[in-house]
Amino acid sequence: MSVPTLARPAKKLPRAFYLMVLPAFALFLVFHTVPVLTGIYYSFTNYAGYGEWSFIGLSNYINLFRDERILNAYGFTFLFAIVSTIAVNIIALSVAMALNSRIKFKTGFRGIFFIPNILSILIVGYVFNYLFSNSVPAIAEALGINALTSSILAGEDTAWIGVVILSVWQAAAFNIIIYLAGLQTIPGELYEAASLDGASAWKQFSTITFPLIGAFFTINMVLSLKNFLQVFDQIISLTGGGPGTSTESISVLIYRGGFQGGEYGYQTANAVIYLFVIIAISFIQLRILQRREASF
In a domain, 190, yes or no: yes
Assign residue 164 a region: left if phi > 0, alpha if psi is -120 to 50, beta otherwise? alpha
Q: What percent of the chain has pLDDT over 70?
A: 95
C-alpha 240, offset from chain centre: 19
Q: Residue 163 maps to which CATH number? A: 1.10.3720.10
Cα distance between residue 203 and residue 236, in whole Å: 43
Find the mean pLDDT for residues 81-103.
92
In a domain, 99, yes or no: yes
Which residues fall within 8 angstroms of residue 175, CB to CB, at 6 or more apart?
88, 89, 92, 93, 96, 220, 224
Query: If you average pLDDT over every residue of the chain, what do you get?
Result: 89
Cα distance between residue 124 and residue 126, in whole Å: 5
Q: What is the pLDDT of residue 12?
A: 74
Q: Give the count of domains, the chain.
A: 1
In a domain, 25, yes or no: no
In a domain, 59, yes or no: yes
Please state which of the ranges 23-27, 84-88, 99-103, 129-133 shows the lowest mean pLDDT: 99-103
Task: Work out the number of other CB atoms within 10 angstroms of the CB of residue 103.
Answer: 9
What's the domain range around 238?
A: 34-295
Phi and psi angles of residue 55, each rounded to the nearest 5 degrees, phi first: -75, 135
Q: What is the pLDDT of residue 10?
A: 60
Q: What is the pLDDT of residue 78?
A: 95
pLDDT digits (tens, 9 = 90+) for 202-255: 999 989 999 999 999 999 999 999 999 999 999 999 999 989 889 999 999 999
Phi and psi angles of residue 218, each rounded to the nearest 5 degrees, phi first: -60, -45
